[in-house]
Structure 1
Amino acid sequence: MTTTTHYHYSDETLFISLLCLSFLSFILIHRRRARRHGLPPGSQGIPFVGETLQLISAYKTENPEPFIDERVGRYGPVFTTHVFGEPTVFSTDPDVNRLILHGEGKLVDVSYPGSISNLLGKHSLLLMKGSLHKRMHSLTMSFSNPSILKDHLLFDIDRLVRRNLRSWSDRVLLMEEAKKITFELAMKQLMSLDPSEWTERVRKEYVLVIEGFFTVPLPLFSTTYRRAIQARTKVAEALSLVVRERRKEVEVSSAGREEEKDKKKKKKKNDMLAALLAGDEGFSDEQIVDFLVALLVAGYETTSTSMTLAVKFLTDTPLALAQLREEHDQIRAKKKEGEALEWSDYKSMPFTQCVVNETLRVANIIGGVFRRAITDIPVKGYVIPKGWKVFASFRAVHMDQDHFKDARTFNPWRWQVNYIIRAASPGNVYTPFGGGGRLCPGYELARVELSVFLHHLVTRFSWEPAEEDKLVFFPTTRTQKQYPINVRRRDQDQAA
């Protein structure tokens, strides 16, 4: 009589077996592809997830460097990984980064996670390509060039900064206050809108939109992304009302009605929205709204973070704060009470510019950029295959001891004339605003905003941290508690 033995496998055992097989297949396929393409060395992590969790975990701390440091130490400055659902080549090499930044349309195309693309809109400047991007990038830069800043924007920047600081007393959430300032400036520059309850409601929706940038772009699986999409809809509806109203004004002005025409002349606005409505491209309302949504994010989030972190770094570096305050006290001593800053004042802030440079280097508000290879790209003896994602890491270069002595220390004096960057091409190692055809069009505007903010802050207030706060870099660079500070007017200190 033959005895048959039956083996019973639990669901858990079967699942683990399948997972092991999938993992083994994943490793074998990756190794085969690596040999075939001459890929840079690296690890693809676990199937499907890759090394995304390790990256996010690192960037949610004050010290995300080990994620890259460990891989650079093991594989070199260009390595492969698997993040946000795709195999990706990371570059921490300034020469490779420059190749990527300047190779758009020839070697790479712009490519961002689906969550960012969906929330900014398909017509945003971030996602534009080719000749249209060049035209719109040039238009955007024309609204923040030195001439415009000197003749128009500096006055608005000074006025809005003073207006917001006037209400400060006792405990202040610095990042929240900085965001109010930069959002109001962006609304004024783009659409000539002054601060109001309406603009503040729109700003609060923007906060939710930005929170969804690095989430899984599936509303069913991500509450944060679902909330961000809903907020984006509200923002688009609010901006659409402004666009439609301004379009009516343009149509009335063009209709030849002299009486109405005279009225509109008195109210003529010289802002980004006016340029978009008057352009030859014939943009739809949806296209204009997408364009404005992205510009508001760019002008609002990054600059407000720079303001907050400049104050944090200065607070932690008392000698730098004392030198900065001395520079601005000298400027203020030459002016009447309440008198606005002029362009000549801005140009007489040499140490302030050192502080701005160092804040942007250490904070790394823009940590790097994603691109997609549109052809096989030979780099450093390897090949980045066509179709692969590429991440050019600015942060890794800014924090590299080979390029900046004591790179992880805030040291504004390094930017004084007697400091020399230890690199063959300094332009390659300091890229806080990106580079190439996608150089941030508002880079000079951001510097002016930060300088004016620091001027009024240090000449009006003394402060101290209200509680300990930490810096984190995911989903965006920020402090965990919005950097609460206790402020005191300096005239009160002098009276005491």
Structure 2
Amino acid sequence: MEFCVTVLFCSCVILSALLVLLLLLRSYRLGRSHLPPGTYGLPLIGETLQLISAYKSDNPEPFVDSRVSRYGPIFTTHIFGEPTVFSADPDLNRFIMSNEGKLFDCSYPGSISNLLGKHSLLLMKGSLHKRMHSLTMSFANSTIIREHLLLDIDRLIRLNLNSWTDRVLLMEEAKKITFELTMKQLMSFDPCEWTERLKNEYVLLIEGFFSVPIPLFSTTYRRAIMARTRVAEELSWVVRQRRTSCEAGERKNDMLGALLAGGDHFSDEQIVDFLLALLVAGYETTSTIMTLAVKFLTDTPLALAQIKEEHDQIRANKNDPEALVEWNDYKSMKFTQCVVNETLRMANIIGGIFRRTMTDISIKGYTIPKGWKVFASFRAVHLNPDHYKDARTFDPWRWQNNSEAAGSGNVYTPFGGGPRLCPGYELARVVLSVFLHRLVTRFSWVPAEEDKLVFFPTTRTQKRYPIIVRERNLSKSHVRTG
């Protein structure tokens, strides 16, 4: 017994000594490499727990604020198992985005990679990514939206709003709208029982993105993997059916049609991964922006009154109050675009991007070693009072006359930038604008109960933002009789 205790004690001493030696060696190497200043927190877990704890609170900013105050806008930390250079510097963020594939490589947690698939646009690299990114943008540019998508956007939004009575969970309704729009854009499907079943599987899939990517220990992740399999099977069936139709000379003007008709000869697996990831992007991000725009407007009565006035005027200029929203209507929504800009700045649905250095990089007086993670934080820049006055206050008027928008392009990056600029950025703005038009001209509303923002694993409202809606009784004076 005494011998076992002695051996155990000696083993602990040796392990402790090795750990201290490793920490000293790491500190020596880091000190010689001129890394940005910072702290690495606890062994192995670093500062991950502090980061997660902050983002689960009502106000996650102190995690970044305290470190920026102490070390400056570029600092070193240790999160999610790796030493990481954190950037709240807009110039460095732009440098990181602009040098995608040259000095930096995309790098995401394993849970996201496994759930999206190796052929998703998020994980593609090199020439293949460039081709697929261009293809995606070609189906979401202003010309396509104006001539083909705007009609479906308006129609599907109106169809969903027709079912609203009394208490509405706004985030759930917004997700339903964006999923149906994305299904229409990608595969020409109108809402039906099959699309509803597929949406339910997507809910399970998305829940797994920020879970521990080990099925044995995480029920959420295991459930997400199973949902991913079912979604892939359903999409594979669609791809096979459409491939047969395409070979017979039938083609639809949608994303799937372009993939099947192109000269790249993509496999079914590649197409399924690609479509699956685009459905995730369209479903989750735009719906959250729609919800938060309504919440910010509700909390800012002057802004809500002004946007109602703008849209009531658009409606008054039409002979038919139920007339479709046209491209000229969208372009006339000047204050609405201020609201869109400010919502994107405040919400920060894409809080930042992880990248990995492909070589040693010297910048701003520091050296970031090859193979290190870097995190370019858009949120930290958007909420910095050095860049925006009263940065943490919702103020759409700041965008009037392009006063702040005319500043450095490095400061405002809600859709990222460089080769991985979000290809659906214009589509997201149009969807939000049309949604706000239909919402404010048809309904008045009040929050059903107090709700607040949460920031982990993504920005959203804690209770899905329940509201009580009432039909507006607009007088006939609001509608031009011609």
Q: Which one of the candidate residues 413, 426, 434 is aligned to 1:431? A: 413
Contact 1:22 1:47 in 2 (8 A): no
Contact 2:169 2:467 in 1 (8 A): yes
- The answer to whether structure 1 residue 361 and structure 2 residue 345 are counterparts is yes
Q: Which one of the candidate residues 331, 337, 340 is aligned to 2:324? A: 340
Cα distance, 1:36 vs. partner? 2.4
Contact 1:61 1:471 in 2 (8 A): no
Provide the rounded CA distance (Å) in 2 between the counterparts of 1:388 and 1:168.
49
Q: Which one of the candidate residues 431, 440, 446 is aligned to 1:449? A: 431
- AA at the equivalent of 1:310: A
Cα distance, 1:217 vs. partner? 1.2
Contact 1:110 1:127 in 2 (8 A): yes
Aligned to 1:322: 305
Q: Which one of the candidate residues 468, 471, 474 is aligned to 2:456? A: 474
Contact 2:340 2:432 in 1 (8 A): yes
Q: Which one of the candidate residues 270, 288, 295 is aligned to 1:312? A: 295
Provide the rounded CA distance (Å) in 2 between the counterparts of 1:139 and 1:196.
27
| Aligned partner of residue 410 in structure 2, secondary structure | helix
Provide the rounded CA distance (Å) in 2 between the counterparts of 1:6 and 1:115.
45
Q: Which one of the candidate residues 443, 450, 460 is aligned to 2:442? A: 460
- AA at the equivalent of 2:96: I
Q: Which one of the candidate residues 376, 393, 398 is aligned to 1:409? A: 393
Cα distance, 1:420 vs. partner? 3.4
CA RMSD of aligned residues (A): 2.0
Cα distance, 1:7 vs. partner? 11
- The answer to whether structure 1 residue 487 and structure 2 residue 469 are counterparts is yes
Aligned to 1:259: none
| Aligned partner of residue 446 in structure 2, secondary structure | strand
Contact 1:23 1:46 in 2 (8 A): no
- The answer to whether structure 1 residue 248 and structure 2 residue 244 are counterparts is yes
Contact 2:388 2:404 in 1 (8 A): no
| Aligned partner of residue 491 in structure 1, secondary structure | coil
Number of residue pairs aligned between Structure 1 and Structure 2: 474
Cα distance, 1:201 vs. partner? 1.1
Aligned to 2:174: 178
Q: Which one of the candidate residues 420, 443, 465 is aligned to 2:404? A: 420
- The answer to whether structure 1 residue 275 and structure 2 residue 271 are counterparts is no
Q: TM-score, normalised by structure 2?
A: 0.95
Contact 2:290 2:432 in 1 (8 A): yes
Q: Which one of the candidate residues 384, 391, 409 is aligned to 2:368? A: 384
Provide the rounded CA distance (Å) in 1 between the counterparts of 2:440 and 2:275.
32
Provide the rounded CA distance (Å) in 1 between the counterparts of 2:178 and 2:336.
19
- AA at the equivalent of 2:86: F
Q: TM-score, normalised by structure 1?
A: 0.92
- The answer to whether structure 1 residue 45 and structure 2 residue 41 are counterparts is yes
Contact 2:307 2:336 in 1 (8 A): yes
Q: 1:15 to 1:207 in 2, by over 3 A?
A: farther
| Aligned partner of residue 413 in structure 2, secondary structure | coil
Q: 1:331 to 1:382 in 2, by over 3 A?
A: same
Contact 1:306 1:359 in 2 (8 A): yes
Q: 1:400 to 1:124 in 2, by over 3 A?
A: same
- The answer to whether structure 1 residue 110 and structure 2 residue 106 are counterparts is yes
Provide the rounded CA distance (Å) in 2 between the counterparts of 1:15 and 1:414.
63
Contact 1:26 1:47 in 2 (8 A): no
| Aligned partner of residue 409 in structure 2, secondary structure | helix
Contact 1:89 1:391 in 2 (8 A): yes
Provide the rounded CA distance (Å) in 2 between the counterparts of 1:486 and 1:14.
67
Cα distance, 1:24 vs. partner? 3.1
- The answer to whether structure 1 residue 201 and structure 2 residue 197 are counterparts is yes
Aligned to 2:479: none
| Aligned partner of residue 87 in structure 1, secondary structure | strand
Provide the rounded CA distance (Å) in 2 between the counterparts of 1:64 and 1:142.
37
Higher deviation after alignment, 290-299 or 27-36: 27-36
User: Cα deviations across residues 138-162 of structure 1 (Å, max 9, x unaligned)?
Assistant: 0000001111010010000000000
- AA at the equivalent of 2:89: D
| Aligned partner of residue 375 in structure 2, secondary structure | strand
Higher deviation after alignment, 337-346 or 438-447: 337-346
Cα distance, 1:475 vs. partner? 1.2
| Aligned partner of residue 253 in structure 2, secondary structure | coil
Cα distance, 1:29 vs. partner? 2.9
Contact 1:173 1:484 in 2 (8 A): yes
Cα distance, 1:10 vs. partner? 11
| Aligned partner of residue 232 in structure 1, secondary structure | helix
Provide the rounded CA distance (Å) in 1 between the counterparts of 2:262 and 2:451.
46
- The answer to whether structure 1 residue 440 and structure 2 residue 422 are counterparts is yes
Aligned to 2:208: 212
What aligned pairs does 1:14-29 form with structure 2 within 5 A after superposition? 21=17, 24-29=20-25
Provide the rounded CA distance (Å) in 1 between the counterparts of 2:462 and 2:10.
43
- AA at the equivalent of 1:118: N
- The answer to whether structure 1 residue 188 and structure 2 residue 184 are counterparts is yes
Provide the rounded CA distance (Å) in 1 between the counterparts of 2:293 and 2:451.
14
Q: 1:129 to 1:7 in 2, by over 3 A?
A: closer
Cα distance, 1:324 vs. partner? 0.3
User: Cα deviations across residues 258-284 of structure 1 (Å, max 9, x unaligned)?
Assistant: xxxxxx4xxx41000000001111111
Provide the rounded CA distance (Å) in 1 between the counterparts of 2:214 and 2:94.
34
Contact 2:118 2:273 in 1 (8 A): yes
Contact 2:356 2:372 in 1 (8 A): yes
Provide the rounded CA distance (Å) in 2 between the counterparts of 1:382 and 1:319.
46
Q: 1:14 to 1:46 in 2, by over 3 A?
A: farther
User: Cα deviations across residues 377-406 of structure 1 (Å, max 9, x unaligned)?
Assistant: 112111111000111000000000100000
Unmatched runs of 5 consecutive residues or more in structure 2: 477-482
Provide the rounded CA distance (Å) in 2 between the counterparts of 1:22 and 1:325.
66
Cα distance, 1:320 vs. partner? 0.2
